[in-house]
Structure 1
Amino acid sequence: MTPSSSEDSMKITHAEAIALNIPFYAEHVTRAMQRASTHDERVWVVRLETDNGLVGWADNHGQPSVDGLVGQNPASLINRDDIGFGAQVACLDLVGQDNGVPVHELLGVKLRDRCPISWWDIDMPPQDWVAEAEESLKRGYTTFKMKARPWRDIIAQTDAVAKVFPADYKFDVDFNGFLLNQAKAEITLQKLDENPNVGMYESPFYLHTDVDGARILRERVRKPIVEHYQDQYLRNDCCDGFVIGGGATDTRRTATLAAAHNKPFWLQLVGAGLTTTYAAHLGSVLSHAQLPYITCHELWEDDLLQEPIEVRDGYMPVPDAPGLGVSVDEEAIAKYRVDPAEPTPTQHYMAQKRILRVYWPGAGKAREWEFTAEPHYQQAFYAGNIPGFEQGVDLEVIEDDNSAAFQKRHEALLAQGR
Structure 2
Amino acid sequence: MTSITSIECRRLQLPFNQPYVTGAGTLKTTQCVIVRVHTSDGLVGIGEACPYPTKFQDETPGTVMSVLEEILAPSLIGQNPLHVNDINRIMDAIIPGNPQAKAAIDVACWDILGKKLGAPIYQLLGGPLRTSLDLLWPMGDQTPAEDTKEVTEKVEEGFKTFMYKMGFYKDIDMEIERIATARKVFGKELVIVPDANQGFTKDEAIQLLRGLEPLQSKGPLFVEQPVSKERPQDMVSLQRQTSIPLSIDESLVTVKDALHFAQQQGCGVFSVKVVKNGGISKAKEICGVAKLYGIPCLFNSMLETGVAQAAALHLAAVTPTLYPSGHCFMSTLRLKDVTTFASSLIRKDNASGLLKVHLPTGPGLGISLDEEALEMHTVDRRVITDDKKAWNGKLE
Alignment TM-score, normalising by the size of structure 1: 0.68
- Please report how far the alpha carbon of residue 283 of structure 1 lies from its aligned counterpart in structure 2 after TM superposition: 1.2
1:148, 1:173 within 8 Å by CA — same for their partners in 2?
Answer: yes
1:60, 1:275 within 8 Å by CA — same for their partners in 2?
Answer: yes
Aligned position for 1:293 = 327
Aligned position for 2:292 = 260
Aligned position for 1:120 = 138
1:335 is aligned with what amino acid? M
1:151 is aligned with what amino acid? K
- Higher Cα Rg, which structure: 1
2:194 is aligned with what amino acid? V
- Please report how far the alpha carbon of residue 76 of structure 1 lies from its aligned counterpart in structure 2 after TM superposition: 2.2
Distance 1:15 1:178, change over 3 A: closer
Q: Are residues 1:75 and 2:75 paired?
A: no
1:118, 1:145 within 8 Å by CA — same for their partners in 2?
Answer: yes
Aligned position for 1:375 = none
Q: Are residues 1:94 and 2:112 paired?
A: yes
1:115, 1:315 within 8 Å by CA — same for their partners in 2?
Answer: yes
Distance in 2 between residues matched to 1:14 and 1:87, nearest whole Å: 12
Counterpart pick for 1:200 among 216, 222, 233: 222
1:304 is aligned with what amino acid? T
1:78, 1:92 within 8 Å by CA — same for their partners in 2?
Answer: no
1:74, 1:94 within 8 Å by CA — same for their partners in 2?
Answer: yes
1:173, 1:198 within 8 Å by CA — same for their partners in 2?
Answer: no
Distance 1:79 1:190, change over 3 A: farther
Aligned position for 2:265 = 237
Q: Equivalent residues in 2 for 1:13-32 (5 A)?
A: 13-26=5-18, 29=19, 32=21
SS in 2 for 1:120: strand
Q: Equivalent residues in 2 for 1:332-347 (5 A)?
A: 332-339=373-380
SS in 1 for 2:5: strand
Distance 1:260 1:279, change over 3 A: same
Name whichever structure is richer in helix by fraction.
2
SS in 1 for 2:113: helix
Distance in 1 between residues matched to 2:129 and 2:103, nearest whole Å: 23
1:274, 1:304 within 8 Å by CA — same for their partners in 2?
Answer: yes
- Please report how far the alpha carbon of residue 99 of structure 1 lies from its aligned counterpart in structure 2 after TM superposition: 0.8
SS in 2 for 1:146: strand
Counterpart pick for 1:325 among 358, 366, 378: 366
Q: Which gives a bigger RCO, structure 1 or 2 (Cα 8 Å, sep 6+)? A: 2
SS in 2 for 1:145: strand
> Is 265-274 or 190-199 further displaced after alignment?
190-199
Distance in 2 between residues matched to 1:287 and 1:11, nearest whole Å: 33
Q: Are residues 1:213 and 2:237 paired?
A: yes
1:18, 1:46 within 8 Å by CA — same for their partners in 2?
Answer: yes
Distance in 2 between residues matched to 1:136 and 1:79, nearest whole Å: 44
Distance in 1 between residues matched to 2:347 and 2:227, nearest whole Å: 32
- Please report how far the alpha carbon of residue 259 of structure 1 lies from its aligned counterpart in structure 2 after TM superposition: 0.8
2:235, 2:267 within 8 Å by CA — same for their partners in 1?
Answer: no
Distance in 2 between residues matched to 1:79 and 1:267, nearest whole Å: 26
Q: Equivalent residues in 2 for 1:99-110 (5 A)?
A: 99-110=117-128
SS in 1 for 2:271: strand
Q: Are residues 1:148 and 2:155 paired?
A: no
1:274, 1:305 within 8 Å by CA — same for their partners in 2?
Answer: no
> Is 10-19 or 271-280 further displaced after alignment?
10-19
CA-based RMSD = 3.2
Structure 2 segments unaligned to the other structure (5+ residues): 52-60, 92-100, 349-353, 383-396
1:140, 1:311 within 8 Å by CA — same for their partners in 2?
Answer: no
Distance 1:167 1:311, change over 3 A: farther
2:23, 2:166 within 8 Å by CA — same for their partners in 1?
Answer: no
What's the CA shift string for 1:13-34, capped at 9, x where partnerless?
Answer: 33211122211012xx25x379
Distance in 1 between residues matched to 2:337 and 2:157, nearest whole Å: 14
Distance 1:33 1:201, change over 3 A: closer
2:15, 2:28 within 8 Å by CA — same for their partners in 1?
Answer: no
Distance in 1 between residues matched to 2:226 and 2:138, nearest whole Å: 17
Q: Are residues 1:85 and 2:109 paired?
A: no
> Is 242-251 or 270-279 further displaced after alignment?
242-251
- Please report how far the alpha carbon of residue 154 of structure 1 lies from its aligned counterpart in structure 2 after TM superposition: 0.4
1:171 is aligned with what amino acid? I
Q: Are residues 1:189 and 2:178 paired?
A: no
- Identity between Structure 1 and Structure 2 (%): 23
SS in 1 for 2:34: strand
1:117, 1:141 within 8 Å by CA — same for their partners in 2?
Answer: yes
Distance in 2 between residues matched to 1:326 and 1:215, nearest whole Å: 39
1:199 is aligned with what amino acid? L
Distance in 1 between residues matched to 2:289 and 2:104, nearest whole Å: 25
Counterpart pick for 1:57 among 46, 53, 63: 46
Distance in 1 between residues matched to 2:336 and 2:150, nearest whole Å: 14
Distance 1:213 1:71, change over 3 A: closer
Aligned position for 2:346 = 310
Distance 1:135 1:151, change over 3 A: same
Q: How many residues are matched?
A: 326
2:135, 2:327 within 8 Å by CA — same for their partners in 1?
Answer: yes
Q: Are residues 1:157 and 2:178 paired?
A: yes
What's the CA shift string for 1:194-224, capped at 9, x where partnerless?
Answer: 4435621123345732477335423xx3x42
- Please report how far the alpha carbon of residue 98 of structure 1 lies from its aligned counterpart in structure 2 after TM superposition: 1.1
1:86 is aligned with what amino acid? A
Distance 1:117 1:279, change over 3 A: farther
